[in-house]
Amino acid sequence: MGTGMKIGLLLLTAFLAILLGVGTGSVYVSPGDIWSIMAERMFAIPLPDHIPTSYSVMVLDMRLPRVLLAFLTGAALALCGAVMQSLLQNPLASPFGLGVSSGAGLGAALVIVLGLSSAGLGTFLLPVVSLGFALAAVFMVLFLSAKLDRGMSNVTVILVGMVLSLFCNAVMSLLATGSPTYAQRIQLWQLGSFSMREWSAVGVLFPATVVVGLYFLRYAGELDVMTFGEEQAQAMGVDLRKVKGRLMTAVAVLTGTAVAFVGIIGFVDLIVPHIVRRLFGAAHRRALPACALLGGSFLVLCDLAARTLTPPHEIPIGSITALLGAPFFLYLFFAGRRES
Amino acid sequence: MNKTALLTVEHFYCGYGNTQVIKDLSFQVKAGERFCILGPNGCGKTTLLRALAGVLSWQGNVEADGLTLHMMPPKQRAKRIALMSQFSQAAFDYTVYEAVMLGRYTHRSGSLFSVETSADREAVEDALRRTGVWELRERSVTKLSGGQLQRVFLARTFAQEPQIILLDEPANHLDLRCQAELLESLREWTAARNRCVVGVFHDISLALAFADTALLLEDGRALACGPVGELDGRLLDRLYGMDVHRYMKKMYGRWM
């Protein structure tokens, strides 16, 4: 099958996943009805009689932003995972290893525990603070790594990231223990949720994903070269320190933004790039767009499962991805080992 | 000898942190030359190559084809000097063709819309055929043997179209036939106009069989430099701290 055909199939999958996500819930809305509802909102074409007007709000102001938020988060995490794995030449690397998640978590925990509120930022206070903490954590990791080791070798970055993550997690646990009333909210945030179904979140994450995604694509050539070893990449004319610094910052910004809105969702960043490399090969010009499409579709479907499997309760999205991801990953790992 | 100097190294210093590994080294490599650097472990052979390839910073004066290397942008440098590193790996699923195409990175503009040109494709095809991996072009690099992978890396180095190839232990872990084929490809490549190879080899007999000029490196300084045929055996003995000639004779004599 040609690459164009495969990308076409992925686009179709993404479209169907979004359609299914928007249609399914407490009441089912058919694709035709979704179209009528959108037409009414956009072109003021009157709704057919069989669709209650309340559906318009449900579909366009509750389900659609939630589904799009899930899609964008999946796309962002898969993109960041793929880039991080290439930067560290390790197919098991994750952007969370840079301290993004624990930094963001600490920021969120502080806002929750201290009961902070801001008139200007409103519901955006928590995302803004946690993004700030995520970025601070990553810069701390990069700064300390550069101080310890001028060449900023991958082992140094991974180890420093781990140390800082553990430290942030410890402080977060302390906060949770100190204020049991908030412990549950902190814990929920750590498993992620798309229940903040606001268009404003989509409005932030959409441009962030597109801009950073294109930025990654601009560095596709460098990323390709770097997967074959850093020394070789430098010799081939890649300005390693500059490229690595820029891309890690971009990864931190995009992961941090996604995590700030929806909490920590694991495994998407590991599994999706893995499957994409099998289907499309590792070359980043093809793999990156495919990661965005597949990652998005995957999280939309996971979120669908999260909110429909155990009504009226919602399963934390992070649990779903982990439940699916961990065994799948083990399978890939052992299947890969048998082959070689 | 009226050939032009392709690589000129003068008063070269380089090291890690506060330790100087290469101290005041000067030598020249002429066009068409196969140049090898000999010396015991830790004498600075690999450090020298990594510095020339732009992996480590250095002081001194280096000219490649008449242009000074100091302050040259990395991509410009890589158009002239290529390194075939012993630390190359293939952890991700690229086809052989794609991996060799990466050698063209140096010639790309590096924008979002840069595309493969026909010059890129020709260089890659030529490199694939030269190294005998044309038949493998659709295969994944993760599924190749050590010898095949090394030939793919050589093809990528050729596709980069440099004038100077730096080889860091290229024949490590290769069986005899793979070694011979690799070195033969390099020999052919060097024969074309205005090219040279600078190699570091672990195996002295292999180095002396391949190279026509040798630099003996002792503790970061040049002990001697000249044609392989005129090499003073006593200097080799001093370099390696043993009777090299006798050892070689004994080793091969038992079998021949």
Please name the residue that has the structure tokens 């793979």: B178
Is B48 among the domain residues? yes
**Lowest mean pLDDT across A10-24, A138-152, A286-300, A315-329:** A138-152
Distance of residue A228 Cα from the nearest chain B Cα, in angstroms: 5
pLDDT at B49 over 90: yes
Which residue type does A91 have? P
Is B66 among the domain residues? yes
Name which of A105, A107, A140, A129 is nearest A248 in CA terms.
A140
pLDDT at A116 over 90: no
DSSP A120: T
Least CB–CB distance from A217: residue in B88, B93, B112: B112
Q: Note the pLDDT of residue A275.
A: 92
Percent of chain B with pLDDT over 70: 98
Q: Note the pLDDT of residue A196.
A: 67
Taken in order B231, B232, B235, B237, the sign of the CA dihedral is: positive
Which residues 89-108 of B have a C-beta within 8 angstroms of A? 89-95, 98-99, 102-103, 105-106, 108
Q: Give the contacts of A302 (CB within 8 A, at least 6 positions apart).
A: A70, A317, A320, A321, A324
A229: β partners: none
Q: Note the pLDDT of residue A339.
A: 54
How does pLDDT run across A73-84, given as a tens digit for each residue?
Answer: 999 999 999 999
Question: Nearest residue on chain A to B95, judged by CA atoms?
Answer: A281
Is B90 among the domain residues? no
Would you call A294 exposed, middle or buried from its count of C-beta atoms within 10 A (0-12, 13-18, 19+)? Answer: buried
Alpha-carbon distance A222 to A216, whole Å?
10
Residues of B with Cβ-Cβ distance to A224 under 8 angstroms? 94, 98, 102, 105
With cut-offs at 50, 70 and 90, classify the pLDDT of residue B155. Answer: very high
Q: Work out the average pLDDT over B192-203.
A: 90
Alpha-carbon distance B256 to B244, whole Å?
18
User: Taking a C-beta distance cutoff of 8 angstroms, is the pair B24, B219 a contact?
Assistant: no
**Do residue A237 and residue B53 have CB atoms under 8 angstroms apart?**
no
Chain B interface test: which of A225, A226, A232, A241 (most B C-beta within 10 Å): A232
User: Taking a C-beta distance cutoff of 8 angstroms, is the pair B1, B25 a contact?
Assistant: no
| Greatest mean pLDDT range, A179-183, A204-208, B82-86 | A204-208
Q: Give the contacts of B123 (CB within 8 A, at least 6 positions apart).
A: B103, B104, B158, B159, B161
Is B216 among the domain residues? yes
Q: Which residue range is the domain that position B19 belongs to?
A: 5-85+162-253
Question: Nearest residue on chain B to A240, judged by CA atoms?
Answer: B55
Is B248 among the domain residues? yes
**Do residue A222 and residue B105 have CB atoms under 8 angstroms apart?**
yes
Residues of A with Cβ-Cβ distance to B104 under 8 angstroms? none
User: Taking a C-beta distance cutoff of 8 angstroms, is the pair A269, A292 a contact?
Assistant: no
Q: Note the pLDDT of residue A191.
A: 79
Is B107 among the domain residues? no
A236 and B CB contact within 8 Å: yes
Q: How many CB pairs under 8 A join A and B?
A: 94
Residues of chain A by 3-state class (helix, strand, coil), percent to 5: 80, 0, 20
Which residue type does B92 have? F
Name which of A79, A33, A90 is nearest A56 in CA terms.
A33
Report how far apart, in Å, the C-alpha atoms of B237 and of each of A71, A114, B252 are: 68, 74, 18
Please name the residue that has the structure tokens 């100190």: A178
| Greatest mean pLDDT range, A1-5, A111-115, B219-223 | B219-223
Q: Work out the average pLDDT over B11-37.
A: 92
Domain positions in chain A: 3-335
Q: Per the structure block, which two tokens stand in for B216?
A: 């003996």
A155 and B CB contact within 8 Å: no
User: Taking a C-beta distance cutoff of 8 angstroms, is the pair A99, A140 a contact?
Assistant: yes
Report how far apart, in Å, the C-alpha atoms of B165 and of each of A177, A296, A326 are: 61, 44, 45
Q: Give the contacts of B129 (CB within 8 A, at least 6 positions apart).
A: none
Residues of A with Cβ-Cβ distance to B75 under 8 angstroms? 237
Overall number of domains in chain B: 1
Please name the residue that has the structure tokens 């686009």: A11
Q: Give the contacts of B183 (CB within 8 A, at least 6 positions apart).
A: B171, B206, B209, B210
Residue B187, domain CATH: 3.40.50.300
Distance of residue B54 Cα from the nearest chain A Cα, in angstroms: 6
Least CB–CB distance from A221: residue in B54, B105, B160: B105
Q: Note the pLDDT of residue B18.
A: 82
How does pLDDT run across A290-330, given as a tens digit for each residue?
Answer: 999 999 999 999 999 999 998 888 888 999 999 998 898 78
**CATH 1.10.3470.10: does it fit domain A3-335?**
yes
User: Taking a C-beta distance cutoff of 8 angstroms, is the pair A259, A101 a contact?
Assistant: yes
